[in-house]
Structure 1
Amino acid sequence: MTSPAYDLIIIGGGPSGLNAGVSARKAGLRYLILEKGVIVNSLFNFPTNMTFFSTSLKLEIHDIPFISHGDKPTRSEALEYYRRIVQSQDLKLHLYEEVVGMSPQTGGAYRVKTNRGVYDTLAVCVATGFYDTPRWLDVPGEELPKVKHYYNDPHAYIDQDVLVIGAANSACDAALECWRKGARVTMAVRSDRINDRVKYWIKPDIENRIKEGSIPAYFGTTVTAIRENEVDLQTPEGPLTLPNDFVLAMTGYQPSYDLFERLGIPVGDDEACQPIFNPDTLETQLPNVYMAGVACAGRQTSKLFIENTRDHGDIIVRNISEKLGIES
């Protein structure tokens, strides 16, 4: 086999993938970022009016200034920031190109297959996040078009009966925004209260709306079936059927374990289901295959964020450079 065309293929064009790309460019590695959607595809699918919990300073990568009008940047400002990074750093990036498989080659290299081509590389970095894969309800009717696992804007739900499932940040944001824009909102919450990790300026708001009866909430409740014009709940008091036009299933997300399986990345068999990797180098049990970003946490999606994984790109590129004998 001839020498691979790339030193590093980065799977995922989100904040962690772009971060690794900048690290690779600075180190002089031959690299390519493959993204199945748009730049920072997960952030693009965030709610239109979302504000980050972290400050812009904590979201900066490689000391590239993140300018925002307020202390907490908006989704729109974040999209602009990452677009500027791609352009100013002249990152090598293929959009709308999905990785479908990977196979080992002689000499410890890999062949990465996509829906558009094949790439030979010495190393691979998996930076796919978790927001692309919703946690399904697995109930009858979940396949109906009225069921949404992503929420973007309340305008579509004016004067509609909307059931919001969940009690974390996404669910509370969606419930409040839709209610304020004129939707008839009900919440179904599996636990006995609103999630303690809900943003501090959102939590009292949603709790007060529930207390005053503006947003009815059923705690200790699960959805058992969804139909065109109604939804069935199992509450502590027994079964309940509600009129319904839309279901916003804000039930959380998880890494793409299907992709991990196609790539051959081993995953732990405990509840967290974390990819198995060396915490010092981020290298998985597959030689020269690395994990980066929030996907490292597996199903513990509240453990890692953009702000506490910003060093992953440098860690990975440093390890690859050492193996290649390149001075960092």
Structure 2
Amino acid sequence: MNHTTYDVLIIGGGPAGLSTAYLCHKQGLSYLVLESGKAIFQGIANTYPEGKLVYASKPKDAPMPFMVDELRPPDKPVTVESYLQYVQHFVQHENLHVQTEVDFEDIKDERDGLTVVTSKGNYKGKKVVLSFGSNIPRELSVYGDAKMVAKNVDDPSKYIGIKTLIIGGGNTAADVIINILRAKREAGDTNPVYWAHKAETFDVNKETAQRLGEEILLGGNIRLLPGSTPRIGEVDDEGVDRLVIRINEFKQADGIDLYHALSFPMQNVIACIGSQGPVPIFDKLNIQSIACTSGVCKIAKEGERLVLLSSDF
């Protein structure tokens, strides 16, 4: 256990968490950022595919400027890699205190403060800021366990030489496919990339569709699986974690239906099925949340603790 008692413990090293850390730093407060990823802004790194452009934005009705202007992306779009590199330099220059690869588990109220329970031990603080962000990847809903399925691609070359399954019908899935197809093409790999989506149609914007079309014209081997549903996470006879995805269903008059399915090693699967906010974590902590929309607030969930999901309340 870390025996230091911090003024502020910050859970999450994204924009909100890092901004909080910087403001604590400027005010002379002792603090520590606990981030589950390998680096700060890991949620952004996981969400945006390689080469994606980012730029400064905020809600249209937000009256305030950026709380920490030093973390504001430039007005002219830059690649996500360039922006993340800038943020890393900012953290090093300001000597901000960040602990990475620490998985948050629980918060305990104790007489002398709050104890944050993590995978790397316990940390004590007078105050705790929950800054999980809204880029928590959704898990596949299947029978069995599918936690080994990746949520994005950090290195497309890992998928060279294997048949790969991408799940999800939007721009993020398409961007991942583009990067993997490019890596395969440059390596002379003809193994296909399977693109599965539960709906019958895929929904990507014009620019992304154009880039995907260019990769296909250059020889990209892609196989579409519309109307497909991930069903089972299992371990085969050789101890390999596999995902079974149903691609066809044939109803029979005698009640014995026929299914056509494919089984992929989970290490070959990437699920780009969107993200969610921290509500599941709030539920685990038994936090009562109040959601405010258009000036109307209501209790979203009962609980022993209280958190406001709006800065205007």
Query: In structure 2, what is the Cα distance between the partners aligned to 1:233 and 1:174?
Result: 22
Q: Quote how far apart the aligned CAs of 1:30 are.
A: 4.4
Q: Does 1:32 align with 2:32?
A: yes
Q: Is the 8 A contact 2:49 2:175 kept in 1?
A: no
Pair 1:22–1:236, CA change in 2 (3 A) = same
Query: In structure 1, what is the Cα distance between the partners aligned to 2:180 and 2:243?
Result: 18
Q: Does 1:162 align with 2:164?
A: yes
The counterpart of 1:240, out of the listed 260, 265, 278, is 260
Q: Is the 8 A contact 1:8 1:32 kept in 2?
A: yes
Deviations 1:223-268 (A, max 9, x none): 33467799542336673344756322222333455643453323xx
Pair 1:289–1:200, CA change in 2 (3 A) = farther
The counterpart of 1:171, out of the listed 170, 173, 191, is 173
Instruction: Look up the match of 1:85.
Output: 90
Instruction: Look up the match of 2:121.
Output: 116
Q: Quote how far apart the aligned CAs of 1:86 are.
A: 1.7
Q: Does 1:63 align with 2:69?
A: yes
Query: In structure 1, what is the Cα distance between the partners aligned to 2:116 and 2:47?
Result: 29
Query: In structure 2, what is the Cα distance between the partners aligned to 1:232 and 1:96?
Result: 31
Q: Is the 8 A contact 2:168 2:195 kept in 1?
A: yes
Instruction: Look up the match of 2:11.
Output: 11
Q: Quote how far apart the aligned CAs of 1:176 are.
A: 2.3
The counterpart of 1:223, out of the listed 222, 225, 230, is 230
Deviations 1:112-136 (A, max 9, x none): 3443333131x32211124455412
Deviations 1:40-95 (A, max 9, x none): 2323445662413x32x449762227677x94322321221221232333323333
Q: The residue matched to 1:13 in structure 2 has which SS?
A: coil
Instruction: Look up the match of 2:290.
Output: 276
Query: In structure 2, what is the Cα distance between the partners aligned to 1:86 and 1:288?
Result: 32
Q: Is the 8 A contact 1:277 1:290 kept in 2?
A: no
Query: In structure 1, what is the Cα distance between the partners aligned to 2:45 and 2:220?
Result: 33
Instruction: Look up the match of 2:188.
Output: none
Q: Does 1:49 align with 2:83?
A: no
Q: The residue matched to 1:191 in structure 2 has which SS?
A: coil
Pair 1:48–1:230, CA change in 2 (3 A) = closer
Query: In structure 2, what is the Cα distance between the partners aligned to 1:241 and 1:67?
Result: 44
Query: In structure 1, what is the Cα distance between the partners aligned to 2:263 and 2:104?
Result: 41
Structure with more contact order per residue of length (Cα contacts < 8 Å, sep ≥ 6): 1
Query: In structure 1, what is the Cα distance between the partners aligned to 2:225 and 2:216?
Result: 10
Pair 1:260–1:235, CA change in 2 (3 A) = same
Q: Which has the higher strand share?
A: 2
Deviations 1:167-215 (A, max 9, x none): 12221112222233244122111123223xx454213444788999953
Query: In structure 1, what is the Cα distance between the partners aligned to 2:144 and 2:17?
Result: 37
Query: In structure 2, what is the Cα distance between the partners aligned to 1:247 and 1:221?
Result: 14
Q: Is the 8 A contact 1:132 1:253 kept in 2?
A: yes
Give unmatched runs, 5+ long, in structure 1: 267-274, 297-311, 320-328
Query: In structure 1, what is the Cα distance between the partners aligned to 2:216 and 2:249?
Result: 17
Aligned residues: 274
Q: Is the 8 A contact 2:150 2:271 kept in 1?
A: yes
Q: Is the 8 A contact 1:112 1:119 kept in 2?
A: yes
Give unmatched runs, 5+ long, in structure 2: 59-65, 186-190, 251-257
Q: Is the 8 A contact 1:157 1:178 kept in 2?
A: yes
Q: Does 1:201 align with 2:207?
A: yes
- Under a length normalisation based on structure 2, what TM-score does the superposition of the two structures give? 0.66
Letter of the structure 2 residue corresponding to residue 202 of structure 1: T
Query: In structure 2, what is the Cα distance between the partners aligned to 1:98 and 1:213?
Result: 38
Q: Does 1:260 align with 2:268?
A: no
Q: Is the 8 A contact 2:287 2:305 kept in 1?
A: no
- Under a length normalisation based on structure 1, what TM-score does the superposition of the two structures give? 0.64
Letter of the structure 1 residue corresponding to residue 100 of structure 2: L
Q: Quote how far apart the aligned CAs of 1:16 are.
A: 1.4
Pair 1:140–1:173, CA change in 2 (3 A) = same
The CA RMSD over aligned residues, in Å, is 4.4
Q: The residue matched to 1:80 in structure 2 has which SS?
A: helix
Pair 1:20–1:9, CA change in 2 (3 A) = same
